[in-house]
Amino acid sequence: MDAQVWEWRVATGEHPRQEGEQQLIERCRAGDMEAFGTLWQQHRTAVFRSILGIVGNPQDAEDLTQDAFLRAYRALDSFRGEAQLRTWLIRIGVHLAIDHVKRKKAHPEVSLDWDVGGGYADIDPHAAAERNELRETVRKAIDALPPHHRAVIVLRDMEGMDYSEMAQALGCSVGSVKLRLFRARRLLKQRLEVLLGGSP
């Protein structure tokens, strides 16, 4: 298939075939790039947003998303189907993001000009400025957390995972997830109280 046609189909959400995820995985294992593109289209946003919530930089998040999907493509034979494919992909991306943050050993820089979601970047300049301020404040508070605490905040509060999915994505027990989430939320609450002055 022509690459441009396939990219257009992927961008517009038009899939060649509506089929089950397991069939797509089997086709990917056989080397079918079309099936892999369908899986990428279905899960790229979740993986990208999880990574972006941890690293805070859209460019780094985009690169790490590609690395995560490439690793997943190479390791599809080891996917046993015990967890959902989305959870497995997010797990790969979260581990890459945590390693990235540890490797940089510095708080990730947030560019002020990345496009805010929702399509209201150009509606009201005042509202856009408020959103940017809120985003900067929350980003600073999240960046003050350790990488593992960032991951639980992102998975729970941004991706809406339950505790068992988080445990599968992070490779730990449910009890560890609860303890991490408690500590992360307490730290985040304290940090936001300082940054927002107690009245957001």
Site residues, another protein (CB under 8 A): 3, 6-7, 10-11, 31, 33, 36-37, 40-41, 44-45, 47-49, 52-53, 58, 62, 65-66, 69-70, 73-74, 114-118, 131, 134-135, 137-139, 142, 153, 157-158, 178, 181-182, 185-186, 188-189, 192-193, 196, 198, 200
Instruction: Report the nearest approach of another protein to the CB of residue 6 (Å).
Output: 8
Instruction: Report the nearest approach of another protein to the CB of residue 137 (Å).
Output: 7
Q: Which is nearer to another protein, 82 or 117 (CB)?
A: 117
> Is-contact 150 184, C-beta < 8 A?
yes
Please state, in angstroms and rounded to a whole number, the distance separating the CA atoms of residues 110 and 112.
6
Separation of CA 127 from chain center: 26
Beta carbons within 10 angstroms of residue 93's beta carbon:
28
Q: Which is nearer to another protein, 105 or 111 (CB)?
A: 111
Please state, in angstroms and rounded to a whole number, the distance separating the CA atoms of residues 58 and 51.
9
